[in-house]
């Protein structure tokens, strides 16, 4: 069954083995969508990723086909859901966790709170690192989301997610995904990224928390987030980590350019296997390491 009963939440997920049934998987990828989306975000990437990896793609609580219980929508809580899902599926070893936007915050929390469960992170235009100037608009947005009808505010937030180069179908696709998201999730998940002492979506408040990610991190930022990409480089601890900007890319750059995205991720993971193979000493014990070869974009 594609559902897991995990305490207070029922999560929908897909679990795809490598396409070559006779081939031992290179590892497990955990794909985590963003705010107001669902695991359909990854349908364009599954054929490439499942050539060599087992791929697990859940709907976060309140999103897609998963249930929407009261509470539990902060990134750390959502990361806890993923730990329970991995346990349910018998995945004991560390995964490569790939997250977009809110999903990038969720997988970052997974790496900080449960470091033994994460081999590496790929963060796609993360929702963390918002500057005080950008965050000045958040109180009004949060009020709109909590008004009892979060959909107008959530849909208006879509405007900045796209560039003139974004395909028209992508806007239509994600407008429909937002309308299919539980109102409770829309009202609670966005504020939980930025409000309260435990939130780590704003800089400099979240810097120390993000700096606790000891695993390799590949961050792919949209063209509008060049300054945030530069800021993040100062927080990355592992020598194989990279934070880079995709020229012309919108907030959903992985959906705009899926073939390029999967190629970049696979090449980075190949380089990681060469320079810091699974089972190597933890970051504090490294004596020397070199970053993998820069993939051509």
Give per-residue pLDDT as tens, 22-41. Answer: 677 789 999 999 999 999 99
What DSSP state is assigned to residue 248?
Answer: T
The reply to whether 159 falls in a domain is: yes
For residue range 130-178, what is the model confidence (pLDDT) as tens digits?
A: 999 999 999 999 999 999 999 999 999 887 788 787 889 999 999 999 9
Percent of the residues in the chain that have a pLDDT greater than 90, as a whole number: 82
Tally of structural domains, the chain = 1
Q: What is the DSSP letter of 130?
A: B
Residue 120 covered by a domain: yes
Burial of 208 (0-12, 13-18, 19+ CB in 10 A): exposed
Domain range for 203 is 3-285
| 51 part of a folded domain | yes
Model pTM?
0.92
Residue 287 has pLDDT above 50, yes or no: no
Question: Contact at 8 Å (CB) between 231 and 129?
Answer: yes
243 found inside a domain: yes
Identify whether 292 is part of a domain: no
pLDDT score, position 1 = 66
Task: Tell me the CA distances in angstroms from 196 to 52, 200, 247, one per residue in order.
Answer: 41, 9, 33
Note whether residue 293 is domain-resident: no
Helix/strand/coil for 14? strand
CATH number of domain containing 124: 3.40.50.1820
Residue 88 burial (CB count, 10 A)? 13
Is 40 within a domain?
Answer: yes
Report yes or no on 19 lying in a domain.
Answer: yes
Give the tokens for residue 293: 């070869």
Exposure pattern of 3-31 as b/e (b: 16+ CB <10 Å)? Answer: ebebeebbbbbbebebeeeeeeebbbbbb
CB neighbours of 193 closer than 8 A, spacing ≥ 6?
74, 75, 102, 105, 127, 128, 199, 201
């Amino acid at each position: 069954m594609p559902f897991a009963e995990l305490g207070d939440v029922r999560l929908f997920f897909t679990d795809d083995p490598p396409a070559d049934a006779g081939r031992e998987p290179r590892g497990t990828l955990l794909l985590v969508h963003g705010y107001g989306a669902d695991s359909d975000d990854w349908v364009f990437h599954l054929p490439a990723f499942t050539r060599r990896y087992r791929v697990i793609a859940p709907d976060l609580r309140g999103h897609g086909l998963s249930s929407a219980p009261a509470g539990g929508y902060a990134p750390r809580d959502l990361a806890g859901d993923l730990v329970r899902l991995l346990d349910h599926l018998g995945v004991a070893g560390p995964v490569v966790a790939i997250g977009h936007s809110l999903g990038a915050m969720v997988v970052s929390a997974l790496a900080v709170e449960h470091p033994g469960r994460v081999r590496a992170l790929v963060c796609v235009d993360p929702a963390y690192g918002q500057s005080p100037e950008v965050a000045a608009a958040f109180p009004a947005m949060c009020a709109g989301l909590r008004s009892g009808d979060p959909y107008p505010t959530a849909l208006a937030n879509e405007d900045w997610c796209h560039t003139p180069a974004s395909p028209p179908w992508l806007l239509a696709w994600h407008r429909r995904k937002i309308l299919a998201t539980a109102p409770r999730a829309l009202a609670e998940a966005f504020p939980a990224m930025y409000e309260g002492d435990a939130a780590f979506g704003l800089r400099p408040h979240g810097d120390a928390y993000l700096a606790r990610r000891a695993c390799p991190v590949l961050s792919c930022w949209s063209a509008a987030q060049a300054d945030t990409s530069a800021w993040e480089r100062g927080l990355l601890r592992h020598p194989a980590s990279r934070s880079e900007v995709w020229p012309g890319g919108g907030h959903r750059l992985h959906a705009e350019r899926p073939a390029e995205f999967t190629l970049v991720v696979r090449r980075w993971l190949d380089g990681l296997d060469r320079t810091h193979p699974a089972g190597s000493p933890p970051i504090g014990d490294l004596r020397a390491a070199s970053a993998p070869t820069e993939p051509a974009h």
